[in-house]
Copies of this chain bind each other. A is one copy, B any other.
Amino acid sequence: MKQYMFTPGPTMVPAEALLAEAAPMIHHRTPQFSTVLMEVTEWLKEIMGTKQDVYILAGSGTAAMEAAIANTCSPGDKAVCVAGGKFGERLGEICQVYGCKTKVITLEAGRSFTAEQAARALDETPGARVLCITQSETSTGALTDVESIAAIARERETLLVVDAITGIGIHPMRMDEWGVDVVVSGSQKGLMIAPGLAFIAVSPRTWKAVEKCTSPRFYLDLAAMRKNLQKKTTAFTPAISLIRSLHCTLTMLRQEGLENVFARHARLAEATRAAMAALGLKLVAECPVNGVTAVWAPDGIDTDKMTKKMRDEWGVTMAGGQDELKGRVFRIGHMGYVSEEDLLVAIATVERALREFGYEFEPGMGLVAANAVLFGGR
């Protein structure tokens, strides 16, 4: 059965990038690998909107999230973390593990954190070392306006840590222009390769905090990363095949043009939202992201069962809900290597599943709505 992935990471990987991963092994302490590493690093800087280094870790996105905290926060430091869902919660947990006095701001599912809330939270927590936010909260599909929050954090000398794991390559990130201090990301989302790489970039003022930070770190030590990148290498053995695969997808994204990549994701998201509205369904997020659409299931439909049927019987993988959204939400991933044409498969599959599970609506109306956004005729 032909397989389709509409998951919010890992995503479908272009065949070119799969084959790049399968190239014969090369050694990492060679000019050949250094060339690849430095090109990938330059291209990641473009995509993150920074002139600072971007460090590539062998690890999951969570490793980069921990690197952000382990290099900036010492025990007793104050941290403000926004938990708009599962991934925001994780940054709060990491701060707690590192002994921070951690204020966790829990948002109602689907709400986005605002600059006003940021100002209030930081005014209530003077001297906070870090404010941690999630650009694109994968569990609810809610978007955070990073730019406006960065301005608030900058005024108050608090470092803004942004989990952009499902943001990079989907939404613009202008790290330097907006004044973001730490950006972390991962490989299996907008960057379209397999999971196993994580990325971190830090601002000049972050380095001052890094120097003072007393938390233990070795594998995640930013200073070691910086020192080695200056020598065009990595501190520890890099995930060579994944980096070569990333070289391939970054080439593809640059050929498409980053602005076009962002516009495609916006179109895919708009079409998905239009389709869900046409089916009478509500989104979880009030301000939705462009990489994934989280949708409240109709009453009485268990989305775990629904997504299992899609995957096991029809070969189409989507995600259900996590934690308190489990069973109640389904999530259509449309990030990375997803074309406008592909999206029709996702919408038709959602329609088919909803019908099977007893939801009543006029068949095809989701497709008609998506088609209008994607291919015109509205």
Contact = CB atoms under 8 A, between A and B. Distances in A.
B196 A241 contact: yes
A21 interface: yes
21 contacts: A3-B24, A7-B27, A10-B27, A10-B28, A10-B237, A10-B240, A12-B25, A13-B24, A18-B21, A18-B23, A18-B24, A22-B22, A27-B319, A60-B236, A62-B218, A62-B237, A99-B216, A194-B242, A195-B237, A196-B238, A241-B242
A93 interface: yes
A22 B27 contact: no
A10 B30 contact: no
A112 interface: no
A337 to B, nearest CB: 9
Interface bin, chain A:
35 or more
Nearest to A90: B218
Contacts of A239: 60, 194-196, 239, 242
Interface in A22-46: 22-28, 30
Interface string A79-113: 00000000000000110011100000000000000
Contacts of A242: 194, 196, 239, 241-242
A194 B241 contact: yes
Given A97-B221, A196-B239, A239-B242, 18 more contacts: A5-B26, A5-B27, A18-B24, A21-B22, A25-B194, A58-B59, A58-B60, A59-B63, A60-B236, A60-B239, A62-B219, A63-B63, A94-B218, A188-B237, A194-B241, A196-B240, A216-B216, A242-B242
A180 to B, nearest CB: 22
A196 B240 CA distance: 8
Contacts of A9: 237
A327 interface: no
A349 interface: no
B63 A219 contact: yes
A239 B21 CA distance: 12
A317 interface: yes
Contact of A218 (B18, B30, B66, B216): B66
Nearest to A31: B312
A27 B10 CA distance: 6
A125 to B, nearest CB: 21
A321 interface: no
A20 to B, nearest CB: 8
A295 to B, nearest CB: 18
A186 interface: yes
A70 interface: yes
Given A239-B196, A240-B10, A70 B216 contact: yes
A217 B97 contact: yes
A140 interface: no
A298 to B, nearest CB: 23
A317 to B, nearest CB: 5
Interface in A191-248: 194-196, 215-221, 236-242
A11 interface: yes
A66 B239 CA distance: 18
Given A5-B25, A25-B5, A217-B97, A238 B60 contact: yes
B25 A22 contact: no
6 nearest CB pairs, A to B: A196-B239, A22-B22, A194-B241, A60-B236, A18-B22, A62-B236
